[in-house]
Amino acid sequence: VESSIPEHMREAWRKFSASGFKTTDEFEKEVVKHIETTLARSLFNCDELAAYSGTALAFRDRLVIDWNKTQQRQTFADQKRIYYLSLEFLMGRALDNAMLNVGLKNVAKDGLADLGFRIEDVVNQEHDAALGNGGLGRLAACFLDSMASLNYAAWGYGLRYRYGIFKQEIENGYQVEIPDYWLDFNPWEFPRHDVTVDVQFYGWVNKYTDENGKQVTSWQDGEVVVATAYDVPVPGYGTPTVNNLRLWSSKAASGEFDFAKFNAGEYESAVGDQQRAETISAVLYPNDNLERGKELRLKQQYFWCAASLYDIVRRFKKTKRKWSEFPDQVAIQLNDTHPTLAIVELQRILTDLEGLEWDVAWDIVGRTFGYTNHTVLPEALEKWSVPLIQNLLPRHLQIIYDINLFFLQQVEKRFPKDRELLSRVSIIEESQPKMVRMAYLAIVGSHKVNGVAELHSDLIKTTIFKDFVRIYGPDKFGNVTNGITPRRWLHQANPRLSELIASKVGSYEFLKDLTLLNKLEAFADDKEFKKEWAEIKYANKVRLAQHIQKSTGVSVNPKALFDVQVKRIHEYKRQQLNIFGLIHRYLAIKGMSPEERKKLAPRVSIFGGKAAPGYWMAKTIIHLVNKVGEVVNNDKDVGDLLKVIFLEDYNVSKAEIIVPASDISEHISTAGTEASGTSNMKFVLNGGLIIGTLDGANIEITREVGEDNVYLFGTLSEDVEDLRHKHFYSKTDFNPELKKVFDFIKSGAFGDQSAFSALINGIVDHGDYYLVGDDFDSYCKTQDLIDEDYKDQDAWVTKSIQVVSRMGYFTSDRCINEYADTIWNIEPLQVKEEDEVRART
Ligand code: CR1
């Protein structure tokens, strides 16, 4: 590693090198210094936000020291690195996580108390980093946490959106979207004005022979936009490794505006270029599991891929290695197809810019990339129109055509005369206009393709990618079942439970090796332990009840069964099944005698989740939940027996309050539609049981925790197609109980019934694609079983302990190790033991 400072002058650097606080006094000194100088405030105007800012800056300093060292260590070791390309990183808050990861939360707690603040209030000042929609973005965040905690040399690459996912408010029962401008004060990012990349768009392709008789292909006269790096430190837990998340921000190439126009008095158009360029990284597209083919989205994708690859290649070139060694130094993982253009861009760099032969370059590309598929929903599979790419990225379109040509020739050789096969697997769909099938391009350009849970990985092999299994053989396709980080989703969200577990299993080591949870099994019948376990769940429910009271004005009884469904609102996730079930329950309660009512277990049903702004059906579901809540929660007959709550603006920090407080949570997608789900894992890890279909990771959760400990219901994935088909022929055997629910809605019980007619008609008249009618009966019966079981609190608590003890498999550490072994071929970087020990104490 080169240094600009000569050896004989480094003494002063060593002497004054920053080391970071360790004691409460040192912490307080840092906080006060930052508040008084960095923020120019004082003890006379220090509110909670200023206390947060000062604390965050103090911890940031602490992280930066380890961050710098990690980067030096990784450069020095010169080993293979992982590059995780994701358009979404749903990080949530950073301060609490940083405090726990460096093991100084107690120091901060005492220090803040000394300065007049409660640590919880301070932590709550932080704005969530919400650069993602749902599971896909949160998975990326869990993976970053695991890669750092396991000491892998890894980088995340994404976009620095000025606006993250919108903030949701509920007005008169309707969702309203508010922009999420989150960058006002963000101490967790470091602008790197010296790390920039020029990214080109539009222009034309010039092919000619140069003076040496060499064929040259050059993409010229395009419009240039500058990408500037913003770096976010990602600390590992109990290790000095702090990795880097690099987010790109767009600016006009000139840097300034057009002076000629400015002089001529055309002020507005003078800043036009500037604004157009900045638009690229301005906003996160708010769709989950849906792609809409907008030009700006394609621009985002290329902007980010081009900047990231330039950066990766630049780092590789510093090592002065041969190109053939690129895949031994670089593993790039594509989080869904959003970064597929990176494949094309690397091929362009290697051939057009570096002069490698096509085949040599293509071999390097294939060995570098891995592709993770996250969905089989057809509306979410990306396709880009050929004319759009032609205009925006003319050279890339040519390369895509060449990739396709060589691929189809290879297929033709192995399967001669199968024209059907050729047209099925072609990267170009022969439609009007022609479309580029991004998933096919990603498969052809990667050495491994994986799904995110067993059922899903089987499904992609037998349905959407079936032909590719024939072509490449089954070994190219694998499964890595998703996981979650136990640091955020247990230790941080549920500190009391984490502490209780640590007291029984001997230490906090389980946070690094989650299989150690199995030691809890021995206490599943321990009376004293069960009491403490139940008390913690109750306290978490009280905390959620307070939050519900504050945000909705409804008081709920924390002794009631808390039933939670929080996730993006989507027809395939079937929040409609849940709310229809609740209307059914409401009607049942209304029909009961007072004696019968006394026997019923009181229930609080909690919904949360955003609908994509253009997704009308999802918005209708939100509207219905809110209207049902208004009626049920104000019905004197019902009282505590049922409350229906919609919590607005579900996000990571709210999840940290909600997840530890569930008795039951709902994961009830139509079988075969939810690729994995990850909140199912979070709830169970916190001692909540689940009701679910045999879908996604529910299946593996059931295998791990035991069938007796999961409430399963509904149609199996293999029967879904037949049922859908049948719906179009016979509608006679429609579920009569569900029909009563629909009639009640139609009677105007929840306001203007026409507001809900599309929702009902989709089920009654339009084929019930998501099988709500088919699964309604078994869903309701399973809920009745839950009511019964919940009455036996003693048995319930035993189950709760048992399931947690069996959740070791679902840590994202296990996922990352599987990716490392089966896809990336990479080992962690050794960290000196004394550094580890220091980080843990
Ligand atoms: C899936 O719907 C899965 C996450 C993370 C989502 C969800 O079941 O848990 O990915 N897919 O793997 C997605 O967003 C674009 O696809």
More confident residue, 273 or 559: 559
For 19-48, how does the pLDDT look when each residue is reduced to its tens digit (9 = 90+)? 889 999 999 999 999 999 999 999 999 999
The string of DSSP codes covering 331-386 is: EEEEESSTTTHHHHHHHHIIIIIT---HHHHHHHHHHHEEEE-----GGGS-EEEH
Examine the domain organization and report whether 357 and 413 are in the same domain. Answer: yes
Do 84 and 105 belong together in one domain?
no
Cα–Cα dist 227/37, whole Å = 31
More confident position, 80 or 841: 80
Q: For position 734, what pLDDT does the model report?
A: 80
Residue-wise pLDDT for 373-391, tens only, equals 999 999 999 999 999 999 9
Whether 88 and 219 map to the same domain: the answer is yes
473-485 confidence digits (pLDDT tens): 999 999 999 999 9
Indicate whether 679 belongs to any domain: yes
Give the mean pLDDT of 456-465.
98
Whether residue 119 has pLDDT greater than 90:
yes
pLDDT band at 600 (very low <50, low <70, confident <90, very high): very high
More confident residue, 271 or 367: 367
Comparing CA positions, the residue from 530, 544, 815 lying closest to residue 683 is 544
CA distance linking residue 118 with residue 111, whole number of Å: 10
Residue 315 Cα to ligand 1 midpoint, Å, equals: 31
Nearest partner of 291 among 374, 384, 380, 376, judged by Cα: 380
Distance separating alpha carbons of residues 285 and 298, to the nearest angstrom: 11
Please tell me the distance between residue 696's alpha carbon and the centre of ligand 1 in angstroms.
Answer: 10
> For 451-469, what is the mean pLDDT?
98
Residues with CB under 6 A from ligand 1: 135-136, 139, 288-289, 336, 374-375, 380, 452, 482, 674-678, 696
Q: Based on the domain organization, do 345 and 453 belong to the same domain?
A: yes
- Same domain flag for 245 and 386: yes
My answer on whether 645 and 771 are in the same domain is yes
pLDDT (tens digit, 9 = 90+) per residue, 289-344? Answer: 999 999 999 999 999 999 999 999 999 999 999 999 999 999 999 999 999 999 99
Looking at residue 731, what is its pLDDT? Answer: 65
Atom of ligand 1 nearest to the CA of 372: 12
What pLDDT shows up at residue 668?
99
Q: Which residues are catalytic?
A: 374, 567-568, 573, 678, 682
Domain extent at residue 120: 20-77+94-127
Q: Examine the predicted complex and report whether its ipTM is higher than 0.95.
A: yes
Quick one: pLDDT at residue 1?
46
Residue 705 within a domain: yes
Same domain for 157 and 111? Answer: no
Among the atoms of ligand 1, which is closest to the Cα of residue 377? 16
CA angle 645, 649, 655 (to 5 degrees): 80
CB neighbour burial string for 605-636, b if at least 16 within 10 angstroms, e if fewer: bbbbbbbbeebeebbbbbbbbbbbbeebbeee
797 Cβ neighbours under 8 A, 6+ residues apart: 530, 533, 534
Q: Are 187 and 53 in contact (CB under 8 A)?
A: yes
pTM of model > 0.80:
yes
In 3D space, the residue among 461, 459, 458 whose CA is nearest the CA of residue 471 turns out to be 461
Q: Look at residue 103 and tell me if it is in a domain.
A: yes
- 473, part of any domain: yes
Residues 235, 198, single domain; the answer is yes
| pLDDT greater than 60 at residue 823 | yes
Same-domain status, 111 and 82: no
| Residue 256 confidence (pLDDT) | 60
Terminal-residue alpha carbon distance, the chain:
30
Residue with tokens 């072994």: 821
Closest CA to 560 of 680, 666, 661: 661
Instruction: List CB contacts of 816: < 8 A, sequence separation 6 or more.
Output: 143, 146, 147, 150, 152
Compute the CA torsion angle 388, 256, 159, 333 (nearest 10 deg): 70
Pocket test for ligand 1, best of 289, 337, 372, 459 (most atoms within 8 A of CB): 289
Residue owning the nearest CA to atom 15 of ligand 1? 289
Q: Is the dihedral of CA 73, 78, 81, 83 positive or negative?
A: positive
289's CB contacts (< 8 A; 6+ apart) are 134, 375, 377, 379, 380, 568, 570, 572
Integer Cα distance of 759 and 611 in angstroms: 15
Shared domain for 252 and 361, answered yes or no, is: yes
629-662 residue pLDDT tens:
999 999 999 999 999 999 999 999 999 999 999 9
Answer yes or no: is pLDDT of 755 > 90.
yes
Confidence of residue 837 (pLDDT cuts 50, 70, 90): low
Share the mean pLDDT of the chain: 96
The sign of the torsion formed by the CA atoms of 175, 179, 184, 189 equals positive
Instruction: Quote the ligand 1 centre to 574 CA distance (angstroms).
Output: 15
Whether 34 is in a domain gets the answer yes
CATH number of residue 678's parent domain: 3.40.50.2000
Residue 405 domain-assigned (yes or no): yes
Q: What is the DSSP letter of 795?
A: H
CA angle (609, 779, 728) in 5-degree steps:
90
Q: Is 7 among the domain residues? A: no
Residue 736 sits in the same domain as residue 776: yes
Q: Does the pLDDT of residue 263 top 80, yes or no?
A: no
Asked if 98 contacts 20 with a C-beta cutoff of 8 angstroms, the reply is no
Ligand 1 atom nearest the C-alpha of 674 is 8
The label of the residue with tokens 């949160």 reads 138
pLDDT tens digit string along 153-211? Answer: 999 999 999 999 999 999 999 999 999 999 999 999 999 999 999 999 999 999 999 99
Q: How confident is the model at residue 266 (pLDDT cuts 50, 70, 90)?
A: confident
Q: What is the pLDDT of residues 759-791, one digit of tens each?
A: 999 999 999 999 999 999 999 999 999 999 999
H or E stretch including 435? strand 435-437
Strands 664-667 vs 689-692: parallel, antiparallel or unpaired? parallel
Asked whether the beta carbons of 607 and 575 are under 8 A apart, the reply is yes
Domain count, the chain: 3
Q: Is there a single domain that holds both residue 701 and residue 794?
A: yes
Model pLDDT, residue 700: 98
Q: Within 13 Å and on the Cβ side, how many CA atoms surround 165?
A: 29
Q: What is the arithmetic mean of pLDDT over 349-369?
A: 98
Nearest CA to ligand 1 atom 11: 374
Domain assignment of residue 818, yes or no: no
pLDDT score of 841 more than 50: no
Distance 138 CA to ligand 1 centre (A): 10
